[in-house]
Amino acid sequence: MKKVTIGVDIGGTNTAIGVVDSKGQVMVKDSILTPSHGDIDKYINELTVAIQELIKSVKLMNDDIEILGIGIGAPNGNYYNGTIEYAPNLSFKGVVQFVKLMRKSFPEMKALALTNDANAAAIGEMIYGGAKGMKNFVMYTLGTGVGSGVVVNGDLVYGHDGFAGECGHTTLIPGGRLCGCTAKGHLEAYCSAPGMKRTAFEIMARDNAGDSLLADKSFNELNSKMIFDAAEKGDKVALEVFEQTGKWLGQGLADTVHHLSPEAIFLFGGPTAAGDYIFKPTKASLEEHLLPIFNGKIKVLPSELRPGDAAIVGASALVWKEVE
């Protein structure tokens, strides 16, 4: 019998759902809108229907299938309690007993687990990706924010309350840029995709770089892909954005190494598609900021999860940890 899991990734706009096999391949997938109405019961009903339809689809493909459970990645997801707590970009307010509500719809599932999206990505990397066989590693997710999942001795670190691993909110520059969390100077404010945009505009203002390929872009229009495209054409502003972002990121990674001594740090998310533009300065800065005992020991690697399916695959991997 083929064993499969279901992954659910709850984003601010869309919820992605997929059935994933033991090799991390998405067999079928779908998405529904993450609603703005704030009615959690209505949303659970919509999600239930979508999952049931995918189960029907996959069983038509192969009736000899066992569905082990459902893994859910969500903003501010608390693994211990199965709750989504005060998620700023979701319409559901306060503490939502998400796993308990889902259990009513799927009482037969062996496993039903929830965590935040960065933790899900870390487990996905460990089950399906480049961290197979590793007992100590960290996953950094670079996107709208900077998330992280920490694995120590083969287990994800949740802390006493379920919210450990917020490496993106370490202070990089005291009193620096305003972070999305309202504190100042956090790593996220510099190394997220919006942080890279801010860096680009700061460089252009400083250098009066009206001839840059990025100069005619508005802040809302500019994205990390445009910065990469400009860097490929030799644009000085774009090249400096990657160089400076890498310096900041390497500094932040060095703090993580000093705390945890991981075998590797994996980087995932849109900006990492730039390859050496971001990895080279990051690795150089990491080595510069490390204690000598760590020099040359820490691998900085791109995630091996497929970008388009990574959120679903990562969430689905939660189930394997539950049924081991």
Alpha-carbon span 150 to 277, nearest angstrom: 25
d(CA 228, CA 287): 24
Residue 88 three-state SS: coil
- Rounded-to-integer distance, Cα 194 and Cα 168, Å: 13
The sign of the torsion formed by the CA atoms of 286, 289, 295, 298 equals negative
- Cα separations in angstroms, 249 against 80, 107, 130, 286: 30, 44, 21, 8
- List CB contacts of 209: < 8 A, sequence separation 6 or more: 203, 215, 236, 237
pTM here is: 0.91
pLDDT at 125 over 90: yes
Provide the pLDDT for residue 155.
Answer: 94
Per-residue confidence at 132, pLDDT binned at 50, 70, 90? very high
Q: Is residue 324 pLDDT above 80, yes or no?
A: no
At residue 62, the pLDDT reads 85
Taking only the tens place, the pLDDT of each residue in 140-169 is: 999 889 999 999 999 999 999 999 999 999
Q: Is the pLDDT of residue 43 over 80?
A: yes
The answer to whether the CB of 257 falls within 8 A of the CB of 294 is yes
Q: Is 113 helix (H, G, I), strand (E, B) or coil?
A: strand
195 by DSSP, 3-state: which?
A: helix
Region 92-104: mean pLDDT is 96
pLDDT in tens, 228-266: 999 999 999 999 999 999 999 999 999 999 999 999 999
pLDDT tens-digit profile of 189-213?
999 999 999 999 999 999 998 899 9
Q: What is the pLDDT of residue 188?
A: 96
